[in-house]
Structure 1
Amino acid sequence: MRITRLLTAIFAAAILLPASATAASAAPLGGYVALGDSYTSGPFIPVQQFDPLGCGRSTANYPSVVAAALHPARFTDVSCAGADTTNMTRPQSVPFNGTNPPQLGALRADTALVTLGIGGNDGGVFGSLISTCPGLRPGDPAGNPCEKHFGGSLTSAIENIGPRVEAVLTAIHERSPAARVLVVGYPRIAPESGYCPDVLPFADGDYAWLNSVEEALNGMLAEAVDADGNAVFVDTFGASRGHDACARGGAAWINGKDQNIFVAAAYHPLKTGMAGMAAAVLTALR
């Protein structure tokens, strides 16, 4: 998701999660390269890296947790907030006069593992939801004003993303023909039932619609993987059931509407969410 306006501060420190001895036994022989957008990079989750700062790349994001478990020969994380499929082959300008090089440039012929988390920024899918839906709730809090506002436009946009993801996968295989490639889906934002407007200020009727948009996005990614035939889809939407933004008692994987520059960006994964996504990736690798 695009968070350019959110990246306005230097970030605080955190501690990496411990490695899993079980997962370490499946360590790839070569390098691990992580590609993706802000749901991969982890903006505001401590500790933030500075290469470049504007990418919001955390040392506690799911690629870092996976790397800590697998101990690859090399670990390269080039994920960046705001990235879409075009930034796999083109440089991306980021805040603070930074530039993230084309992400596929990190791949090598001997790369053994690639994770890819991309698609939500193409067509402005997630950005449109976040910027529009909360503002429509006050006028129709029990209805579905955001669904009415967008109609089927977001679904159409998602359908157009599939071929772009397939093209990215083809390019990954060309650059790293021996690599295991995992496409990591997007975790659940809204609960299956119930509402929490103080955390997720969508109209009540738009909660189910938000879930349907995410399901369509993840379904598109899974279809792109099937069409590719040489990658694996990692379902984090199912894995995050009960860990949506409304979950209480520290169970949430996703931050709500309140921006916290010492914890996580609004509507983005928390550190707990990154740990959960990493667990899903490691399960898929086994």
Structure 2
Amino acid sequence: MRIARLLTAVVSAATLLTTTAAAASAEARFHHYVALGDSYTSGPFIPTQRLDPLGCGRSTANYPSVLADKLDVAKFTDVSCAGADTTNMTRPQGVPFNGTNPPQLGALRVDTDLVTLGIGGNDYGVFGSLTSTCPGLRASDPTGSPCEEHFGDAITKAIDNTGPRVEAVLAAIHERSPKARVLVIGYPRIAPDRGYCPDVLPFADGDYAWLNGVEEKLNQTLSDAADADGDAEYVDTFGPSRGHDACARGGSAWINGKDQNVFEAAAYHPLKAGMAGVAAVVLSRLR
């Protein structure tokens, strides 16, 4: 009986140690985290803005920063920059206020063990074309789809051409950081799946569905690139952000509308709440 009790105690202690070690391992799993990406990663105008360089619009409250804090990583390097596209992974990027953001892949090291990549929306000017053109077309056909008619299949073709670029970036990441877990972060939804809010998102009514389709196409392209790579993972934020689009009321929005607020968020870009929401989605994937 005494031996049985002793064995039970030993097994219980071993189980506790294993569980504790596993928990500690999960919390301290990543030692060097590098964040790569564009403005949907950097967080322009979200307080507090970093100055290295200021023109990148890199916030201390963007999703990489929140994620790094939650994971308690030993070293965190955020080189995301507003306006970046896939070419700025390997080339320097000029930014406002006479600054330069070095090639983002230069931040990777052999011992980097976590990388998040949020890129693709700026390639071939897709995101900028939509936000600069579509609102101005609403007046011509408020209930129609003037923006879709204006662009035709040009946006779709541009996104198709973005896929191979993202695949090339992923290959370069693995080459520099062969042991890193690499996550491709999708874009959260801008427009609601139903209803309209022209005072916030001044697209024509019919262009709301088209805008969602464009985002879904872009996110599917990113997912396909991760699948083709084989060693990267795609993280969907479009689905989890349903009900948190620019039209969401009561503080539920993850995305800012048309009005730029230099103390809150850039127009058509994530709010602080959106960054926290994306960070939670990514954290759930990691854990």
Q: TM-score, normalised by structure 1?
A: 0.91
Name the structure where helix makes up a greater proportion of residues: 2
Residue aligning to 1:111: 112
- The equivalences for 1:191-230 within 5 A come to 191-230=192-231
- The equivalences for 1:156-167 within 5 A come to 156-167=157-168
Mark the structure with the bigger radius of gyration.
2
Partners of 2:28 and 2:264 in 1: CA distance: 30
Native 8 Å contact 2:110 2:179 kept in 1: yes
Residue aligning to 1:239: 240
Opposite residue 118 of structure 1, the aligned amino acid is I
Residue aligning to 1:26: 27
Opposite residue 97 of structure 1, the aligned amino acid is N
Residue aligning to 2:277: 276
1:134 aligns with 2:140: no
Q: Which structure 2 segments of 5+ residues have no match?
A: 1-22
Partners of 1:67 and 1:244 in 2: CA distance: 25
Partners of 2:52 and 2:281 in 1: CA distance: 27
Residue aligning to 2:100: 99
Please give the per-residue CA displacement for 1:203-251, whole angstroms capped at 9, x wherever unaligned.
Answer: 0000000000000000000000000000110100001000000000000
* Secondary structure of residue in 1 paired with 2:238: helix
CA RMSD of aligned residues (A): 1.1
Partners of 1:205 and 1:78 in 2: CA distance: 37
Partners of 1:23 and 1:246 in 2: CA distance: 41
Partners of 2:157 and 2:27 in 1: CA distance: 39
Native 8 Å contact 2:32 2:111 kept in 1: yes
Residue aligning to 1:68: 69
Partners of 1:26 and 1:127 in 2: CA distance: 38
* Secondary structure of residue in 2 paired with 1:239: coil
Opposite residue 125 of structure 2, the aligned amino acid is G
Identical counterparts, % of pairs:
78
Please give the per-residue CA displacement for 1:88-115, whole angstroms capped at 9, x wherever unaligned.
Answer: 0000000000000000000000001000
**Per-residue deviation, 1:259:** 0.5
Residue aligning to 1:59: 60
Native 8 Å contact 2:30 2:114 kept in 1: no
Opposite residue 253 of structure 1, the aligned amino acid is W
Opposite residue 280 of structure 1, the aligned amino acid is V
Structure 1 runs (4+) greater than 6 angstroms displaced: none
Please give the per-residue CA displacement for 1:116-144, whole angstroms capped at 9, x wherever unaligned.
Answer: 00000001111000000000001110100
- Residues 1:66 and 1:170: Cα distance change in structure 2 (over 3 Å): same
**Per-residue deviation, 1:73:** 1.3
Residue aligning to 1:181: 182
Opposite residue 56 of structure 1, the aligned amino acid is G
- Number of residue pairs matched by the alignment: 265
Partners of 1:239 and 1:85 in 2: CA distance: 25
Residue aligning to 1:40: 41
Partners of 2:24 and 2:255 in 1: CA distance: 25
- Residues 1:194 and 1:73: Cα distance change in structure 2 (over 3 Å): same
- The equivalences for 1:74-93 within 5 A come to 74-93=75-94
